[in-house]
A = this chain, B = another copy of it.
Amino acid sequence: AGLHGRKLQEPWLMKNLAFINGKFVGAKSGKTFEVDNPASGKIIGEVPAMDASDTKEAIAAAHAAFATWKNTTAKERSKLLRRWFTLLEEHKEDLAIILTAEAGKPLAESRGEVAYGSSFLEFFAEEATRIHGEVLQPALPNREMLLIRQPVGVAGLITPWNFPNAMITRKAGAALAAGCTCVVKPAEDTPFSALALAALADKAGIPPGVFNVITSLKSDAAAVGNLLCTSPLVAAISFTVSWPPSPSLVSLMAAISVNGGATVLLGGAPHTAGALFYQPTLLTDVTPDMPCVATEIFGPVVAISKFETEEEALRIANDCKSGLAGYFISQDVSQVWRVARQLEVGMVGINEGLISAAEAAFGGIKESGLGREGSSHGIDDYTEIKYLCIGNTHL
């Protein structure tokens, strides 16, 4: 039910329990909630409705596991991450089916996300053994100065509905590589991909308490999130949030824009597939105040503006509170560097739309967030630099 008639090769990947300290468990309260397929509205399963008390237990498990996990060698962690990666590869079709069921994205896109998600585990498996420190040139004689990098501790990882698989591996891969343990809280809408990842982490031999997943309702999100942010046992928080999926809101914002004078080039109307869908839409003649320009509409609506000069294009693009990614087409090498340097975003695609990669640093500026994920920099926030000064070496 809810899997669009598709069958999993390994039905056990579809878990209906959360994962704490190496065990699949229910909520202490016994409560559960149902998860539907947003493309069909059909219920695909139910999972524990966990609250702050369950979260506390997960944090405690992660904290206890940290005491030994932090002292494993990087090589051991690398091997476990690679084994986890290999399991994702082996079960990629099942993972894509689960992902499509709960997130509603086409199966082809889910397959793409699973490949992208597993690439982080491979990348960070390799990065684990390369978290090097530095032997500095001492400023004074008779001493040695070193910088080493150590894991920060327990990381709370809060992930969104739109990339239920890859957002978890991008964070957890880095955290585990660094020697941290983690508590993952996936979006209410998409807990099953997270739980499938937990099942495979367990199978890969990642020790109990190192990777935990708690499932919870939006109504408990404030309490759970607050605990993750304030618990003295949690050393770092990484969260990625997305606007809630809302076809009706997308419809409203498009309509307001059109009423305000925008011209519809394509689409611009509810989808025949029903209220859960909206047509791919292209709008022109837009003005900066229209919602299709002024806000992150988070739906299949693209607003097109004309410009005369490079300066004008940069002004339009930079007149914006968010700054995740920007894209432009140009063959002129001077313009490429000029515009790339001046665009106020964290990522720039030049003559290319598909720019995400585990090797690259993903992240935005302005209101689009702090920090970078992926690339060697993706590990930075899970480590502390410790400075050692050894005096009186008498050389």
> What's the least CB distance linking A136 to chain B, in Å?
6
> Is the C-beta of A390 less than 8 angstroms from some C-beta in chain B?
yes
List of B residues within 8 angstroms of A152 by Cβ? 365
The answer to whether A395 and B338 touch (CB under 8 A), given A145-B357, A387-B360, is: yes
> What's the least CB distance linking A350 to chain B, in Å?
5
List of B residues within 8 angstroms of A136 by Cβ? 132, 359-360, 375
**Bound-state Cα–Cα, A224 to B357, Å:** 42
**A315-330 near B? 1/0 per residue, CB < 8 Å:** 0000001000000001
List of B residues within 8 angstroms of A273 by Cβ? none
Q: How many copies does the complex hold?
A: 4
List of B residues within 8 angstroms of A365 by Cβ? 152, 384
> Is the C-beta of A275 less than 8 angstroms from some C-beta in chain B?
no
Interface of A, secondary structure class, is mixed
Chain A residues 29 to 51 lying within 8 A of chain B, measured CB to CB, are none
Q: Is the CB of B333 within 8 A of A390?
A: yes
Q: A330 — nearest CB in chain B belongs to which residue? A: B333
Q: Is the CB of A355 within 8 A of B146?
A: no
Q: Is the CB of A332 within 8 A of B334?
A: no
Partner of A129, one of B333, B359, B386: B359
**Bound-state Cα–Cα, A128 to B338, Å:** 21
Partner of A388, one of B350, B392, B395: B350
Choose the segment among A158-166, A197-205, A340-348 that binds chain B (4+ C-beta atoms closer than 8 Å): A340-348
List of B residues within 8 angstroms of A321 by Cβ? 232
Chain A's interface size range is 35 or more
**Bound-state Cα–Cα, A133 to B388, Å:** 14
Q: A384 — nearest CB in chain B belongs to which residue? A: B365
List of B residues within 8 angstroms of A345 by Cβ? 386
List of B residues within 8 angstroms of A130 by Cβ? 126, 130, 137, 376
Chain A residues 57 to 82 lying within 8 A of chain B, measured CB to CB, are 71, 73-75
> What's the least CB distance linking A168 to chain B, in Å?
20
Q: Is the CB of A147 within 8 A of B394?
A: no
> Is the C-beta of A282 less than 8 angstroms from some C-beta in chain B?
no
A337-B395, A350-B390 given; 18 more Cβ-contact pairs under 8 Å: A73-B141, A74-B138, A126-B126, A130-B137, A131-B137, A135-B147, A152-B365, A331-B334, A332-B333, A333-B351, A337-B393, A340-B386, A341-B386, A345-B386, A350-B391, A351-B391, A355-B387, A363-B385
